[in-house]
Structure formats: structure tokens, C-alpha cells
Amino acid sequence: MSEITAAAAHAAIEAGIAKAKEINSPSSIAILDSGRNLIAFHRMDGALLASIEISQGKAYTARSLNMKTADVTEYVQPGGPFYGMETSHRTPMVVFGGGVPVEKAGAVIGAVGVAGGMVPDDVAVAEAVAAALAK
């Protein structure tokens, strides 16, 4: 299984910054390896302070569940099968869009989390970062 290298993570952060600038969404971007360890992080000028922890939480959640955080949202609503899951770990799960697992050769090798904008903006930036890492 291939892992995300520091060089690949930095290049992917640059792809995320470019996308965030294109859509005018100052963001925090976190990249985790397959073991949920932080490899790279960048907070753009103007990104909300809260976005630091939220971006890392989104990446943690995406890797923990091996699914996009946007796809988790419906399951954690009141009455849903995983209601309350976001508080089930020492590291809080973040259950709205902006977290994306990174797959290569059929294996999940890490995850990306982006926060700072509206959810569709976070998703767009996260997808750009994940695409750069999957190359």
C-alpha cells in the first residue's frame, strides 16, 4: 500500500489553496495518513480560527469511516442509526461536508479535511486536494 509522502502532501495543499482562491474561500486544509496522523496542514490568511480544528476533525472522520463526511450527515440526524456518533471518540467526529478519504490502487491511504467556507466550498477544495493526492 502506498502512503502519502510529505512532498505529495505539500503539492496537494498547493492545489487546495489554488481552488480556495479560485472560489474565494479562505480555508484550513489538513491531510492525514492512513493511521490518522497529520502529515500537512495549512491555514490560509483570513480563514476562520475555528477552521483549524474543524478541518482536522473532518479528515479524522473521513479516514475513520472511510467515507466522505458529507455522506455521514444523514445518518447522524435525530432518529438516524448513528445519532450522537460525532461525540463517540476522544477526537470529535465532524459530520458535515469537507472531509474526503484518499484512495490509491483500491486502498484508503489517508484523508483530507477542509474548513473555512460554506460546506459546498469546503467540499470543492477537499476534492481538489484529494484528486492531487490520488495521482
Task: Please give the domain boundaries of the chain with CATH numbers for all domains.
Answer: 6-134 (3.30.450.150)
pLDDT of residue 88: 87
Amino acid type, 64: S
56 CB-contact burial (10 Å; exposed 0-12 / middle 13-18 / buried 19+): buried
The percent of residues in the chain predicted with pLDDT above 70, rounded, is 99
What is the model's pTM?
Answer: 0.95
Q: What's the pLDDT score for residue 12?
A: 98
* Greatest extent of the chain over all pairs of C-alpha atoms, in Å: 43
Confidence label for 69 from pLDDT (cuts 50, 70 and 90) = very high
pLDDT per residue over 82-122, tens digit each? 999 888 888 889 999 999 999 998 999 999 999 999 999 99
Q: Is the pLDDT of residue 61 over 70?
A: yes
**Given a cut of 60, is residue 77 above it in pLDDT?**
yes
